[in-house]
Chain A
Amino acid sequence: MSTGRTTAAPRLRPLPAGPRGILIDCGTTAAARACYRSLQSRRMSGLLEAEDLVPGATTVLVDGVDEPELLAAELPGWPLADEPESAGEVVEIPVCYDGPDLDAVAALWGVRPEDVADIHSGFEYEAAFCGFSPGFAYLEGLPERYHVPRRESPRTTVPAGSLGVAGPYSGVYPRTSPGGWQLIATMTNPGRLWNEHREPAALLVPGTRVRFAAVRV
């Protein structure tokens, strides 16, 4: 159980998102995560009726609400529960650090290409939010010194299973698609990322903790 500590909301700012939506600007990623959890539990206990709750980097969109102004009025005083330590189990994703941008990323990091695997797999990540394609999660956890820009020109085809890095995020492409992230590794079994017959269909949902395990092929 959590310790029940709460902190005053860092200032949740409700912004209108159409006649039935509110975009809650939470200021920080941590606040957005706490706000999302709070909205989820309210929805589960019947205190909130909304069609969709969509977390973003520092926001949560609440869409399909009948009276957005009522929710907006409540928000500024909302206490956000601190996240319990070690919230969920850790999902391990085996990857082979063989991506086409490995050398470029190593150069940006100022390390040898063979060191990228140890560095990147040495951190724990957390799915901040999902987007782009079903099964794709924006994973946070890479320290700032390892943040790299996107590729100058995006690739028209990125194979399913490619692990890319861009800015503060790491992410694995669940299906072949265009993409602009720097590719450093390949997941051995990308089919795990999305399975419609599993509940939930996505392996990585907001809040899931992730470790990458380097494998050699």
Chain B
Amino acid sequence: MSHIEILRAGVLTTCQDAGRPGWGHLAVPPSGAADRPSWRLANQLAGNPTGACALETTLNGCTVKAHRNVTVVVGGAPCAVTVDGRPESWGQPVKLKAGSVLDAGSAEVGVRSYLAFSGGLHPKSSLGSHSTCLLSGLGPAPLQDGDTIPLGPSPAHPPLPTQWPAPWAGIGDEIVMKLHLGPRLEWFRPAAVAELTRGVWTVSEHSNRIGLRLEGPTLKRADPGAELPSEGIAAGALQVPPNGQPILFGADHPTTGGYPVIGVVGPEAQAAAAQARPGTRIRFVPIPMPHWSRRS
């Protein structure tokens, strides 16, 4: 059976595809690649159909050995790429011969690199997805040194030509995100919106695929004693626990929660958040609640 072998799993390397959306009513997080655009592009460059399963690394990359000839694209967070010790291209299709070893080094900027293999990866699936979910434990466990993962049949589409550019917007030390206010804006003091407009938060070290913990100005509730009955959490939700330090939820977010969500960021900001290292500054541009929610 043709497969790849993980020689060095790094801090955290997981299998990720499009995840398992649509099961929120059964407490199943959506999961899937945290930086969707980078994952999608890496798959396209490898000639894979949309939705193929790839490796997602965290900060310090990973090392894999190919057990058959396979094309691989390393995308997402830029990093040094070597094959059998020789430098190779990041962001372009690289041909690996059976027995070759590819190393994706530490991320130079950002957090998560994606390794897309032609044919895609086929680890165990649950509820139709190969994605590892850190919160629920669904899908394959995070990878360990020595693990092997089956490869799918080579795709019908050949990999794109190597001169194809692989743009990556990248992120700097500061990310500015549009924050769509609501659903629970009214749970906060009126000053909270001003605070959101002016404030700068820093990504804490206690951040992962479940969410980014942000440190900065405290978002104060109107009634600190009030309890919110558990309610569904949207993708990209900015939830505010009692200490007032917000959590920006990521791909493996809980499906329900009992702390108010002050605003929600869209897919673009969710992808940027997935590449935000600890220490990255985050600012918000609050988008007012739509007119239909303001009557009454």
Task: Tell me the A residues contacting B by CB distance below 8 Å.
Answer: 13-21, 23, 25, 51-61, 63-64, 68-69, 72-73, 129-136, 138, 175, 196, 200-202, 205-206
Q: Does B142 contact A (CB under 8 A)?
A: no
Q: Are B138 and A134 in contact (CB under 8 A)?
A: yes
Query: Quick check: B27 and A60 within 8 Å, CB to CB?
Result: no
Q: Considering the complex, give the chain A residue whose CB is closest to the CB of B264.
A: A18
A-B contact pairs, 27 of them (CB 8 A): A13-B296, A15-B182, A16-B181, A16-B289, A17-B182, A18-B235, A18-B236, A18-B266, A19-B264, A51-B21, A56-B230, A61-B24, A61-B233, A63-B232, A72-B292, A129-B25, A129-B256, A130-B25, A130-B255, A131-B230, A131-B254, A131-B255, A131-B257, A132-B27, A134-B138, A202-B26, A205-B25
Find the A residue at minimum CB distance from B128: A196
Q: Which of A21, A60, A201 neighbours the largest number of chain B CB atoms within 10 Å of its CB?
A: A21
Q: Which residue of A lies closest to B270 (CB)?
A: A18
Which applies to chain B's interface (DSSP): helix, strand, loop or mixed? loop
Inside 8 A of B229's CB, which chain A residues have their CB?
A: 56-59
The docked-state distance in angstroms from the alpha carbon of A129 to that of B257 is 12
In the complex, B279 has a CB within 8 A of chain A: no
**With known contacts A61-B233, A63-B234, A17–B26 Cβ distance under 8 A:** no
B265 located at the interface, meaning its Cβ lies under 8 Å from any Cβ of chain A in the complex = yes
Do A175 and B27 touch (CB < 8 A)?
no
Contact A19 B180 (CB under 8 A): yes
Binding site for A on B (CB under 8 A): 21-28, 30, 126-127, 136-138, 180-184, 229-237, 254-257, 261, 264-266, 289-290, 292-293, 296
> Given A16, A55, A57, A59, which contacts B182 in the complex, CB threshold below 8 Å?
A16
**Least Cβ distance of A157 to chain B in Å?**
15
Give Cα A200 to B28, complex, Å.
12
Q: Say whether B21 contacts A201, CB under 8 Å.
A: no
Cβ–Cβ contact B231 & A18, under 8 A: no
What chain A residues lie within 8 Å of B266 (beta carbons)?
A: 18-20
A residues in contact with B136, CB < 8 Å: 133-134
Please, how many angstroms separate the alpha-carbon atoms of A133 and B235 in the complex? 17
Residues of B within 8 A of A135 (CB): 26-27
Neighbouring B residues of A54 by C-beta, 8 Å: 24-25, 232-233, 255-256
Partner of B25, one of A19, A73, A175, A206: A206
* CB proximity of A11 to chain B, nearest CB, Å: 9
In the bound complex, CA of A57 to CA of B229 (Å): 6
Assembly CA distance A51 to B290 (angstroms): 21
B29 and chain A: residue at smallest CB distance: A134
By a CB distance below 8 angstroms, the chain A residues around B231 are 23, 56-59, 61
Contacts of A206 in B (CB 8 A): 25
Q: Are A18 and B265 in contact (CB under 8 A)?
A: yes
A57 to B25, CA, bound (A): 12
With a cutoff of 8 Å between Cβ atoms, the chain B residues found around residue A52 in the complex are 21-25, 30, 232
* Residues A55 and B237 in contact in the complex (CB < 8 Å), given A23-B183, A129-B230, A138-B230: no
- A205 to chain B: which residues have CB within 8 Å? 25-26
- Of the candidates A61, A64, A175, the one whose C-beta lies within 8 Å of that of B21 is A64
Query: Nearest CB to that of A13 among chain B residues?
Result: B296
Shortest distance from the beta carbon of B78 to any chain A beta carbon, whole Å: 29
| Smallest CB separation, A178 vs chain B (Å) | 12
